[in-house]
């Protein structure tokens, strides 16, 4: 797991003591997003700080002696990591130098660094990637189940389920998290942090797109990685975090088929044909054209399990006196349509 350099230690210390400026918060967020282990570093240091405030015996260092020892260890320390390639890379941390004007105390910084180096073993990383058009199901070391959508990557450290349960997601996944007493399950994804204990939910976090989470069971805490105030979501609720704001928008789930990619079930409840066509296009990767504008006014209520484009369109055609033609992945629906 990555170790912060001197500037980052300063920013982390100022964050946990509430003294971080907006510009410094942006600098810390940028460093966190460069590598997944960077994000884990900050999260675990913050966790150690929370533990120390809850009454755990906290390290009381001899400042001068401790600082010199910390510098020496940092000089000699090597970082080992892997990103699922089967190879391990090693690189020496550069020497830490003294920083001027740090707002947090030297004692705090030494205590955090002492706890970090003594309680956080180096970890290799497991990575699972899914190519376009495919999905896969994974079982994590804590027995939690994860379904990965296409063009998605999930990674976690080898020490997952030892002291914490932290994963990193790029893309979309459905999680069925097993409850583990006293240990949260945390997902970092595109500037968002999702924390649960035992629950099931869908999380969509593709690059340069809004991050969205929909809760099926249990309770989910959702926030920006730069904010400590989380929005709590119950079953049937979703939240969205856009790239350019730290404000989380909470609402009822707007798309009943948000997990169709995972369970292959399409549900329409008095849904107009235009919206049905749009959801089918997203789910099946096809194009559906309506030959007459009035077709968009027709509404349907139906549930399709294990559906194919042909089975859905055949059923809709039988119900609504329609017909369709297919050319490759393009479908054209024809019929008289409906009045508004």
The answer to whether residue 340 sits within a structural domain is no
Q: Are residues 90 and 23 in the same domain?
A: yes
Q: Does residue 56 lie in a domain region?
A: yes
Residues 21, 137, single domain; the answer is: no
Q: What is the pTM of this model?
A: 0.66
Q: How many CB atoms within 10 Å of residue 26?
A: 12
- Label residue 4 by pLDDT band (50, 70, 90): low
User: Residue 82: its pLDDT value, please?
Assistant: 37
- 94-103, 273-282, 319-328: range with lowest mean pLDDT: 94-103
Q: Are residues 90 and 142 in the same domain?
A: no
The answer to whether position 209 is within a domain reads: yes
Collect all residues with Cβ–Cβ distance below 8 Å to 296 and sequence separation of at least 6.
272, 273, 274, 290, 337
Residue 62 has pLDDT above 50, yes or no: no
Does any domain span residue 259?
Answer: no
| Residue 1 forms part of a structural domain | no
Range scoring the smallest mean pLDDT among 5-14, 45-54, 94-103: 94-103
- Tell me the per-residue pLDDT of 125-166, one tens digit each, with 9 for 90 and over: 889 999 988 999 999 999 999 999 999 999 998 888 876 799
Range(s) of the domain holding residue 83: 6-119
Whether residues 101 and 216 fall in one domain:
no
Sequence-ordered alpha helix ranges (H) in 77-198: 106-119
The enclosing domain of 157 has a CATH number of 2.60.120.1440
Q: Do 189 and 237 reside in the same domain of the chain?
A: yes
Instruction: Considering only residues 55 and 334, tell me which one the structure prediction assigns the higher pLDDT.
Output: 334
Tokens 């892997």, residue located: 82
- On whether residue 147 sits in a domain, the answer given is yes
Q: How far is 306 from 149, CA to CA, in rounded Å?
A: 17
Split into its structural domains, the chain has a count of 3
In a domain, 229, yes or no: yes
> Does residue 257 lie within any of the structural domains?
no
Q: Which domain-ending residue is among 227, 252, 277?
A: 252
């Amino acid at each position: 797991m990555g170790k912060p350099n001197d500037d980052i230690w300063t920013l982390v210390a100022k964050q946990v003591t509430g003294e971080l400026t907006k510009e410094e918060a942006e600098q810390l967020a940028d460093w966190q997003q460069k590598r997944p282990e960077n994000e884990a570093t900050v999260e675990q240091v913050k966790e150690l700080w929370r533990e120390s405030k809850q009454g755990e015996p906290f390290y009381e260092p001899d400042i001068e002696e401790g600082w010199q020892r910390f510098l020496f260890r940092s000089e000699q320390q090597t970082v080992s990591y892997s990103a699922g390639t089967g190879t391990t890379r090693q690189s020496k941390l550069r020497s830490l130098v003294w920083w001027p004007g740090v707002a947090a105390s030297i004692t705090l910084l030494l205590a955090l660094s002492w706890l970090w180096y003594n309680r956080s073993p180096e970890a290799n990383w497991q990575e699972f990637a899914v190519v376009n058009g495919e999905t896969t199901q994974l079982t994590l070391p804590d027995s939690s189940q994860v379904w990965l959508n296409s063009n998605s990557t999930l990674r976690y450290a080898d020490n997952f389920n030892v002291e914490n349960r932290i994963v990193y997601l790029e893309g979309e996944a459905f999680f069925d998290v097993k409850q583990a007493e006293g240990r949260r399950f945390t997902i970092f994804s595109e500037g968002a942090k999702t924390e649960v204990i035992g629950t099931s939910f869908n999380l969509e976090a593709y690059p340069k797109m809004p991050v969205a989470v929909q809760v099926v069971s249990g309770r989910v805490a959702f926030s920006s990685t730069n904010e400590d105030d989380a929005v709590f979501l119950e079953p049937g609720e979703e939240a969205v975090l856009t790239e350019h704001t730290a404000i989380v928008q909470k609402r009822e789930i707007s798309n009943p088929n948000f997990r169709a990619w995972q369970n292959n079930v399409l549900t329409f409840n008095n849904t107009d044909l235009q919206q049905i066509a749009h959801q089918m296009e997203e789910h099946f990767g096809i194009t559906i054209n309506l030959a007459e504008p009035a077709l968009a006014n027709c509404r349907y209520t139906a549930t399709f399990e294990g559906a194919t484009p042909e089975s859905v369109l055949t059923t809709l055609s039988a119900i609504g006196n329609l017909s369709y033609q297919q050319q490759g992945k393009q479908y054209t629906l024809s019929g008289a349509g409906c009045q508004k």
